[in-house]
Structure 1
Amino acid sequence: MKCCVMLAVLLFGLMLNLSISGPSIVEAKLEEKFHWKQLVFDWPSNEAEQEAIKTGRYVPENNLPLGLERWNNKMFVTVPRWKAGVAASLNYIDLNSSEKSPKLRPYPSWQANTLPIEMQPSEHKTSGGRLDAEKPTEADIGLKDNATIISTFRIQVDACDRLWVLDTGLADILGDAKQITPNSIVIFDLKQDKLIRRFAIPKDQTKEDTFFANIIVDSERAECNNAYAYVPDLGAYGVIVYSFRDNRSYRVKHNFFHFDPLNGDFNVGGVNFQWTDGVFGMAVGPMNPDHTKDIYFHALASTKEFKVSNRVLQNESHVTSPDAYYDFKYVGDRGMNGQSTAEIYDKETGVIFYTQVNKDAIACWNVKRPYNSETQGLIDSDSHTLVFPNDLKVDTEGIVWVLSDKMPTYLYKELDPAAVNYRILMGKNRDLIKGTPCEM
């Protein structure tokens, strides 16, 4: 009996030691910085807000945040025009604000985020009843202000203090959908808050099911004019490559851009749904000795990760030929329920941080290690604060920012206006990976 008691004590001590020092333990969790029950905006006046509500130009419950990015004291937040009544699609929060639910300020201005009255969406459906985006007319393309943002999902600040915005040009996506302007890359000088360029993606580079919802920038401060942007097409399974220097783009296709039919089932926040979203998450990896970078990517409806050299993507004649097929490489698998909306490479730690939407979680992987379920580190998982982590970024100070927004509930059910629905969380990169397989 005494022997059994001693054995039990030893086993308990071993289990206690493992629970304290094991790599699976999360030693630091993300902290909530901001939250909202419904988004609030910094209107020019109370009268302007009330008039917008009265006319239907502002319907509070229809405004859902999706993307984020930090630059200096600005935290940019995007609000796609999923439904009618979105106040402004491109906004920012003053990070010096002490408010827990601060008002969003349209960027670069209210005017640039206001739909012209003559461009309000009109209904257009196919014979099957499916909403279909109307093609823009030449009159639609002629915006009074090229800085106008119709609807954006994801944005990115580059090494040269420029904000790159992918404007889908599509308003009231789930309702009376209308393609007001072509899909466009819009670039702002953040130091002067001025438009640098608006580039419309050519029509022959889009497909019937095209849906652009992300933009990734590949740039170096010493070569600002040689920047490239990669725009994944999650609906038609391709990637648009844009050269800032040449001010032109081309389309790349590959089998790895498609979704995985075995991983299109999602369960998030009590909502079950099926998606066929292809390539979506992308990240620019570290500089290699030969001055190339690997571009990591994955489909949303998939658990697999791939990569391709930026030298391949930036060589139009090669990447658009059959010869380029084997230049795209399989990296590994995140494992069951490892679907991810976004990923970002952190130069300081050599880690790629990414979302795990089916797990209400944020995870990580060190690019120097093999890519499998054992080398993936779980940073934080919370069925309350991380329901559908939609976007994440790492800023120049090493702070990881995460936006969660309960989007499946917004799309397929109804959000509770009395509950906190949207959150922005933060954590220090090195603290978050401590004790995980990502720490080396």
Structure 2
Amino acid sequence: MLLRLTILAVSVFVAGSHAAKLDNVFEWNELSFSWPDEKTKEEAIQKGRYVPENNLPLGLDRWNDKLFVTVPRWKNGVASTLNYIDLKTSNKTPSLIPYPDWVSNTLPEREKGPEESTIISTFRVNVDACDRLWVMDTGLADIWGEAKQHSTPSILIYDLKTDKLLKRYVLQSTDLKEDSFFANIVVDVDPTKCEEAFAYIPDLGGYGVVVYSLADNDSWRIKHNFFHFDPLNGDFNVGGINFQWTDGVFGLALGKVQPNGYRTMYFHPLAGIREFSVSTEVLRNKTMATGNNAYYAFKLEGNRGEKTQSSASDLDEKTNVLFLTQLNKDGVACWNVDKPLNPENLGTVAQDSEGLIFTNDLKIDAERNLWILSDKMPTFLYKGLQPNETNYRIFKVKIDEAISGTPCTA
């Protein structure tokens, strides 16, 4: 009888669980790049400008046939920090193509500063509804080593139709704190009013959010208690590596436009398991956002449950479903924002103790594909990856398939 009940319980668990079938689009043991020629590559290796094992993919976004992939300069020897993959390729292990070109991704010599078009190191990028690519450049190279600050953190905006740099905005001194670290950017724009865009940039080290107005060419910093990390949820166990992080606000996602013309911005600290929100009506208003009366405009949405720390999120406007990476669970979760946020309403989209070790970034493209990048980053930072193993993967899945059978369906 006991055996029968056990089998029944297991059957119920399997029937109630869900894991979408992900398409493993690309994978690498080590990243390779599309060099101008073999001689240039060999010279870069000899001079230490390219150390293959030090190149880790971290962020992604898609525009037409380009899948952008960032490679932050964690260590020396990163060949190019902003790159793309031509999606017309049939190669499952493609070489990354520097964007917009090699020159823009070349580190400046120490005795001279970077050019206007130089990208030092970027973690995440955002393709907007006006065919532009927004890049948050930290300006910091060799982060895990000497931590050389080549330039002030800046926003770079590219016209994707021409691959030309439209604008470089250098963050103001009032935007920065001593421990500031800007590793994400989310763009809020009406495609009929492209010049009125706003960018929201979380400061995971300084516990704030910087808002940039393209129309005003101005930025302002917002502070709030909800931007801080949760001291009870800073312990991680990923890929056999145990570590503790204090990263604050990191994951940002925008809801659909409300009747008043504004969106809800959902956000959370990386070291934390709660989700928060605020209307962009507050963020866009410099006077309101930086004053003392906006505190209660920020809301607690709920608790996702134990070990649900997340590095990235994105929202599908058609279904109102928010997707979140799950670092301690080797997977991806979903939550329908029309429902209360609690562990019961948090669905499991995918879970894989090998293929999804450290799901670092995810994005939803214009065709409603969910793209997921996993990169074993804790092993890369604290132990070192094995070059004979598959270390980096990019998956995709259709949104409707991803949420089928989960609590995230309406």
TM-score using structure 2 length: 0.97
CA distance in 1, matches of 2:110, 2:290: 39
Preserved CA contact (<8 Å) 1:19 1:25: no
Structure 2 Cα separation of the partners of residues 157 and 199 of structure 1? 17
- Could you tell me which runs of 5 or more consecutive residues in structure 2 were left unpaired when the two chains were aligned: none
Deviation of 1:117 (Å)? 2.3
* Residue aligning to 2:117: 147
Report the counterpart of residue 285 of structure 1 in structure 2: 255
| Contact 2:267–2:275 (Cα < 8 Å) also in 1 | yes
Q: Mean alpha-carbon deviation: is it higher for 323-332 or for 342-351? A: 342-351
Distance 1:52 1:304, change over 3 A: same
- Give the aligned partner of residue 365 of structure 2: 395
Q: Give the partner amino acid of 1:246.
A: D
* Superposed CA offset, 1:289-330 (max 9, x none): 222211000000000000000000011111111100000000
Indicate whether 1:227 and 2:197 are aligned. yes
Corresponding residue for 2:273? 303
Does the 8 Å contact 1:29/1:379 carry over to 2? no
Once residues 371 and 357 of structure 2 are traced to their aligned partners in structure 1, the CA distance between those partners, rounded to angstroms, is 15
Return the alpha-carbon distance in structure 2 between the equivalents of residues 219 and 152 of structure 1.
Answer: 22
The alignment's C-alpha RMSD in Å is: 1.7
Identify the match of residue 353 of structure 1 among 295, 319, 323.
Answer: 323
Who is 2:294 aligned against? Answer: 324
Indicate conservation of the 8 Å contact 2:332/2:350, yes or no.
yes
1:322 counterpart SS class: coil
Q: 1:14 deviation in Å?
A: 9.0
Compute the TM-score of the two structures, normalised by the length of structure 1. Answer: 0.90
TM-aligned CA deviation for residue 223 of structure 1: 1.3
Deviation at 1:100, TM superposition (A): 1.1
Q: Contact 2:385–2:391 at 8 Å: present in 1 too?
A: yes
> Residue type of the partner of 2:266?
Y
In 2: Cα distance, 1:417 partner to 1:116 partner: 29
2:86 is matched with which residue?
94
Q: Identity over the aligned pairs, expressed in percent?
A: 57
2:110 corresponds to 1:118: yes
Does the aligned pair in 2 maintain the 1:21–1:435 contact within 8 Å? no
Report the CA distance between 1:177 and its aligned residue.
Answer: 1.6
Find 1:193's aligned residue among 151, 160, 163: 163
| Secondary structure, counterpart of 1:186 in structure 2 | strand
Distance 2:246 2:45 in 1: 35
**Is 1:43 aligned to 2:43, yes or no?**
no
Moved over 6 A (4+): 11-15
SS at 1:251 equivalent: strand
**Residues 171-186 of structure 1: pairs in structure 2 closer than 5 A:** 171-186=141-156
Counterpart position of 2:54: 62
**Shift of residue 147, structure 1, vs aligned partner:** 2.1
Q: Which runs of 5+ in 1 are unaligned?
A: 120-138
CA contact (8 A) 1:376 1:438 kept: yes
Query: Is the contact between residue 311 and residue 361 of structure 2 (CA under 8 Å) also seen in structure 1?
Result: yes
Matched-pair contact (CA < 8 Å) for 2:174–2:221: no
Aligned to 1:136: none
Contact 1:307 1:330 in 2 (8 A): yes
Residues in 2 aligned to 1:214 and 1:19: alpha-carbon distance in whole angstroms: 37
Decide whether the 8 Å contact of 2:121 with 2:138 is kept in 1: yes
Looking at structure 1, the residues matched to 106 and 385 of structure 2 have their Cα atoms a distance apart, in angstroms, of 25
